[in-house]
Structure 1
């Protein structure tokens, strides 16, 4: 992500825009938070750690002669739409070396509350030495950002923990499909709809934040929230304590509630595509390798089963890849019947399967392999079924002193020993099955097995 880790969540929705080589800012007046992408800070010479993310720090960097004009203008726009929804202004900002830089700031109101006050503003920040051509190009990017941000309107909430008074804006209520009468203005309306699995990280943490000033005055959390239609939406919640009492307990907190369901679903879909084989639904080679790199001593004894199918190339060459795909999916299903829920079963090659069995002794792995083979044997007894034959090799390591790659290599060798014994008979059955469908004889060529024969 191109923004800071500290405040990256809010910008993740607009990640493609934030990779830009110009400054982007986003300001939330209610929480007083001000966010920047990395180029904004680079332009002024600051690092992430040197630039606190709040509006007061930003104001302190304005040239005194400009602050008297810029700040009142911006607060007028925040207060009412009658002063406009956008601004285009030039002013000087203090850089890290103490000099002042002239910048062009183009900003706009993303959304307002029901009283007309701006909840969020966003814009771009450009060095005025930038050429006019680039400025014009950035104007187009500015409109793209405005559109993207405009589609992510937020709900406002305002809570007084001491009295129990709470306010949810109409947008907050509408966001999850509720009518005002279905969502009373009380904090329980929120708590009751937080997913049970997220209560600890969200509700409990937020109550601690209320009572403990050492936790700071701002927070962010991502959680699931029950919508009116019974589904759960992913919500990005942010809040800021505006006042604490003498004992440090929060008197008032204001915040924003953003629906990030589409973003979350997109991320999960991409993660699933990366981590799973699209044909069989098993784990991918990438996922297998990642899990292999993460192994710890606590995962041992560790067993690996390596499987290689018989006859896939023969099926593909004579009946087409659609039939070959059916064979692979059937094989994957049969393998899963014999494994434990915790086992990592991956398709690591065209016709190759590798099983990573954590906390599994050699004896336990042998039982798993027996169950898999039994499932395959039972399947193959069905009359006229597409035959499935897989040769397996097993290896076990009791201690973390051998690389997974070496263990897989040994399991592969053990598999080939099994394949040499069973392959001719298996291939003959597959050949007969194919010829029955084609009504003619076919040639058999298995290059890999021929190489093993020649080297043994």
Structure 2
């Protein structure tokens, strides 16, 4: 076989292979173009699958459709400028994204990849390229961007404190409410750790960090209530949820969505306090006394003692000096009981002139000593207007052989004996 024959065979094979490539390309969304080098951008070649945009190859080859008319009018000038600049800058290739207008008027996004062949002086001799329909990807990206923008606006403008931090507690992102509630700027917070804000003893921080790591390792969201100290050293109570955010089981961050519930908690605490305290003396009331006594029996917290007290002279004080003076007498009695009892004792006003004291881990002997202290302090009370006095009785439970009813009966019996003695005097 001669060299010419071999060349012809090789050329024929190459042409066949190139034809096969073009056949394959025309079955895809990739459209091949070749443009003339010169003024404008006349089309020398376009693959038949340009029909997917509603045009025929002849529309472009005949000049019936100018390529710049194919490009969306809002993108045409920018695209022209870039292509001409790249053509003049001796670039070999360039990728660009823009919109095109289909024959039916619909708009699609395409990615163009342009390749220039140049002579030895760098002048372009050939300008070829492909355009690929990326409408679906672009619209998805736009939707994602819009979604991210909406989320960012919600994040920034939410009334709730929203922040994200890593598993070590270092802040990653902070919304406006986070800055407003804590009193720290976003820049300050980004240089802080969540544990810098939490009201915790140093000994508690270690256990909290462990609990945080446990939540992360178990991928477990959790409702929480925490107290923080803001920049002005004011305690703020926050309530909400910790949400573990992971990427293919690789935890990247933890998000906290929290509401400032300080005022609500203060109101709840006030209501709780009022429900278990006497308004006049701020001692515990009958409800708390009954619940505590029952709880101590159920838990078998033996021994414990009880002192029952009934004030002397309250009715006559009210009758002769008025209820304002009577209230002063009750308050004076409450102060005496506080001073004579231990910090662990539960002092309650259970009636108009009746008091009761629960003494945990207290023997009868100790209870009697406290009764004597109360009596002595009443005698030493120095006030020309009022003179506190009280009849007292005590009782002790050593074990479960005795009930609270027995305790109350015995304390009451001793109290009435004491009152009878006082009245005789």
Same fold, TM exceeding 0.5?
Answer: yes
Structure 1 segments of 4 or more deviating over 3 A?
Answer: 75-81, 117-120, 160-165, 197-204
Deviations 1:414-450 (A, max 9, x none): 100011111254xxxxxxxxxxxxxxxxxxxxxxxxx
Q: CA deviation at 1:291?
A: 0.7
Q: CA deviation at 1:170?
A: 2.0
In 2, Cα distance between equivalents of 1:383 and 1:160:
64
Q: Work out whether 1:179 is the aligned partner of 2:185.
A: yes
Deviations 1:217-260 (A, max 9, x none): 201211110012211110114221121666xx632222212211
1:139 — aligned with what? none
In 1, Cα distance between equivalents of 2:168 and 2:368:
62
Q: CA deviation at 1:77?
A: 10
In 2, Cα distance between equivalents of 1:277 and 1:322:
16
What are the residue-to-residue correspondences of 1:116-155 with 2, within 5 Å?
116-117=153-154, 153-155=159-161
SS where residue 294 of structure 1 aligns? helix
In 2, Cα distance between equivalents of 1:201 and 1:271:
29
SS where residue 375 of structure 2 aligns? helix
Instruction: Confirm or deny: 8 A CA contact 1:156 1:168 kept in the other structure.
Output: yes
In 2, Cα distance between equivalents of 1:413 and 1:353:
15
Q: Work out whether 1:355 is the aligned partner of 2:392.
A: no
Instruction: Confirm or deny: 8 A CA contact 2:156 2:175 kept in the other structure.
Output: no
Of residues 206, 220, 223, the one that matches 1:220 is 223
Count matched residues. Answer: 280
Instruction: Confirm or deny: 8 A CA contact 1:245 1:251 kept in the other structure.
Output: no
1:419 — aligned with what? 419
Q: 1:288 to 1:185 in 2, by over 3 A?
A: same
1:194 — aligned with what? 198
Q: CA deviation at 1:400?
A: 2.5
Q: 1:76 to 1:410 in 2, by over 3 A?
A: farther
Q: Which has the larger radius of gyration?
A: 2
Q: 1:259 to 1:272 in 2, by over 3 A?
A: same
Instruction: Confirm or deny: 8 A CA contact 1:167 1:185 kept in the other structure.
Output: yes
Q: 1:201 to 1:325 in 2, by over 3 A?
A: farther
Structure 2: stretches of 5+ with no match in the other structure = 1-143
What are the residue-to-residue correspondences of 1:251-330 with 2, within 5 Å?
251-295=252-296, 296-330=298-332
TM-score (norm 1): 0.56
Q: CA deviation at 1:338?
A: 0.9
In 2, Cα distance between equivalents of 1:233 and 1:163:
19
Aligned-residue RMSD, C-alpha: 2.8
SS where residue 391 of structure 2 aligns? strand
Q: Work out whether 1:205 is the aligned partner of 2:211.
A: yes
In 1, Cα distance between equivalents of 2:221 and 2:379:
61
